[in-house]
Amino acid sequence: MAELKKKSVSKRNRSAQKQARQAVRRRSRNRAAKSSIGSTVKKMQAAAGQGAAMLPDAYRQIDRAAKKGVLHKRAAARRKSRLARLANKSRA
């Protein structure tokens, strides 16, 4: 949040200043979403037997990130595929 309080450079025009403020907010939101997905994946990897039970929650987070543009749709599909393989491996 400290980044939001920074004074922008006065030599930029107003639209560039606004765009910079918006970029800071988006960056913060995107990092939070990616971090949340990473945490869920790590929890799945740590939970050897119950990893498959966490799969729907992980899918939900990944789909939401793809819908909002945090992740590309193919990157989201790739992550979901890897999680499914991990869950199948933990079941066997």
Per-residue pLDDT band at 50 (split at 50, 70, 90) = confident
Would residue 86 count as lying in a domain? yes
Would residue 64 count as lying in a domain? yes
What pTM did the predictor assign?
0.75
For the chain, what is the domain count? 1
Per-residue pLDDT band at 54 (split at 50, 70, 90) = confident
Distance CA 80, CA 65 (A): 12
Would residue 78 count as lying in a domain? yes
Beta-carbon count within 10 A of 47 CB: 13
- Residue range(s) defining the domain that contains residue 88: 54-92
